[in-house]
Amino acid sequence: MSTISTPKGRAQFSKEKGNEAFKKADYANAIGFYTAAWMEDPEEPTYPLNRAAAYLKLGKNEDAEKDCTIVLKLSPKNVKAMFRRAQAYYAMSKLHDAQKDLQAACELEPKNESILLLIGEIDLKLQAKREKAMAAAAAGKFVDPNASKRRRRVPINIIEDSAINPPASKSDTKIQFEAPKASDGSGLTAVSSRPLKTSPESTTLPHSTSSTVQAAPEPLNEIFPPNSSLPPSAGKPRPTPASFKDAKDARTTSRPSRVGGGIFHATGSSKVFTNRETAGEKGKSPPIKAPETYFELAKAWNARRTPEERWALLSTIRPLKFPSLCKTSMEPEFLATLVETFNYILNTADLETQILVKSYMDVLPDIQRFNTLFMFLIAKEKAVVREVLSKLGVDKPEGQWAELLK
């Protein structure tokens, strides 16, 4: 095993760890080890090349393509990089780009069976696409993508205003009312709420230029029949109020307010807003829903700014379930803010809260690629971890924490 006293030695050590994880099909941890190796020795193309292979196993084709491009900048004639980038292009359906890389690799290694096999597969796919396009063109279904789109033209008949309302003479303008027409096939029928009464005599407007004249309002006794109840102030002049209070009282008595109709019941409850707050319920915070994935946890975590809010969110997750929820998705930034929250909560924590924090700290090393995550923490953030353990009464960490904090 290589010494780890130099950057190249540490890079080689991380590479060997990555190879072991790759053989065990633990591709996520392999990516972490290859990343650590590349950070120690960024000029060595082997590390991003190996990481590209792990990315391909996880189906992260875009990341694999980027790593292979980096390798080809460091080593332009690297056949493995050309082949793996072609695999990524092939998975992303970029067949022509894959074909270019394979042709370049085939010139360097013309007898490489893997390269020749992938070239044959791409040729078959491209041929199938060409045959499909030719069949569509022969059937008249081919659409030229450069052809301009056809627009449907709808004829519009312009009807002059004089055709609808012929001009009336100034001296003889009569009001005419038409009976409601039957439905014209659209499903709509004109409906009148009450019969319109025409004025017995025509209305003459000596200086009006409009051909449409509105009818005078109906008498009050026709709108409210004698047997119906009239408004209390109907037909009676209202006295001038002497003060603002009198005016308010007069307005309240003349048109009393009542709840009912529309979206409200007579009791005042709403038919639409069923969850309206009452006076006694104001100030109560809604219950926090436990996140089911790391994505939901990170989104809710970033939406909360105070340590108390974040602790309330975290408390909805059982400690033993935390590693399986995070899987390989946890980021170093989240880990740093998580430990800071623990440190803040422990300042005023009771015994039950201290036990819960200790449970979370015990399961954190069980998260996948946690060693790699911890490597990205700065010295200040690692000091916060030591402070949290000290507040929990752990002066000398044991197990994996001891290895990470040594």
Interval 308-338: pLDDT, tens:
999 999 999 998 999 999 988 888 899 999 9
Please check the confidence at residue 266 and state whether its pLDDT lies above 50: yes
Amino acid at 96: H
| pLDDT top residue among 81 and 211 | 81
Comparing 177-191, 229-243, 374-388, which segment has the lowest mean pLDDT?
177-191
Amino acid at 169: S
**How far is 369 from 363, CA to CA, in rounded Å?**
13
Q: What is the pLDDT of residue 281?
A: 47
Q: Are 145 and 183 in contact (CB under 8 A)?
A: no
Q: Are 106 and 112 in contact (CB under 8 A)?
A: yes
Q: How far is CA 306 from CA 311, 341, 368, 391, in A?
A: 9, 9, 27, 20
**How far is 68 from 144, CA to CA, in rounded Å?**
36
Helix (H, G, I), strand (E, B) or coil at 69: helix
Please check the confidence at residue 141 and state whether its pLDDT lies above 80: no
Quick one: average pLDDT of 372-381?
Answer: 88
**How far is 337 from 293, CA to CA, in rounded Å?**
18
Half-sphere exposure of 206 (CA within 13 A, CB side): 0
Residue 270, by phi and psi: left (phi above 0), alpha (psi -120 to 50) or beta?
Answer: beta
Q: What is the pLDDT of residue 82?
A: 95
Comparing 17-21, 166-170, 328-332, 400-404, which segment has the lowest mean pLDDT?
166-170
Helix, strand, coil percentages for the chain (3-state, nearest 5): 50, 0, 50
Quick one: average pLDDT of 375-394?
Answer: 89
Q: Are 82 and 107 in contact (CB under 8 A)?
A: no
Q: What is the pLDDT of residue 255?
A: 59
First to last CA, the chain: 21
Picking from 36, 55, 123, 108, the residue whose alpha carbon sits closest to that of residue 78 is: 108
For 366, the enclosing helix (H) or strand (E) is none
Q: What is the pLDDT of residue 188?
A: 55
Q: Is the pTM of this model over 0.85?
A: no
Please check the confidence at residue 2 and state whether its pLDDT lies above 50: no
Q: Are 49 and 84 in contact (CB under 8 A)?
A: yes
Picking from 328, 339, 342, the residue whose alpha carbon sits closest to that of residue 378 is: 339
Query: How many residues does the structure list for the chain?
Result: 406
Quick one: average pLDDT of 142-155?
Answer: 59
The radius of gyration computed from the CA coordinates of the chain, to the nearest angstrom, equals 40
| pLDDT top residue among 141 and 15 | 15
